[in-house]
Homo-oligomer: A and B are copies of this chain.
Amino acid sequence: MLVVLKANLSAADREATARALAEIAHGNRVTPFLDATPPVVVVRGDDNVRARVQGLDAVAEIRAEAPYLATRAGHPENRTVRLDDVVIGGKDVVLIAGPCSTETYEQTLAAALAAKKAGARLLRGGAFKPRTSPYSFQGHGEEGLRQLARVAAETGLKVVTEVVSPEDVPLVAEHAHMLQIGARNMQNFALLKAVSRSARPVLLKRGFGCTVDELLASAEYILAGGNPDVVLCERGIRTFEGSSRFTFDLNGLAYLKAFSSLPVIADPSHATGNPTLIPAVTRAAVAAGADGVMLEVHPEPDHALSDGDQALTPDAFSTLMREVRAVAEAVGRAF
A residues near B (Cβ < 8 Å) are: 1-2, 42, 63-67, 130-137, 164-168, 184-185, 187-191, 207-214, 217-218, 220-221, 224-225, 236-244, 246-255, 257-258, 271-272, 276-277, 280-281, 283-289, 323, 326-327, 329-331
Contacts and interface: CB of A to CB of B under 8 A. Distances in A.
A277 B254 contact: yes
Contacts of A271: 251
Chain copies in complex? 4
Given A63-B135, A327-B330, A243 B272 contact: no
A65 B166 CA distance: 27
A234 to B, nearest CB: 10
A188 B189 contact: no
Given A66-B132, A130-B187, A277-B254, A239 B242 contact: no
A140 to B, nearest CB: 8
A133 to B, nearest CB: 4
B277 A284 contact: no
A75 B25 CA distance: 53
What are the nearest 5 A-B pairs in CB distance? A209-B209, A287-B287, A238-B240, A66-B133, A165-B190
Nearest to A277: B254
Most chain B CB within 10 A, of A132, A135, A137, A240, is at A135
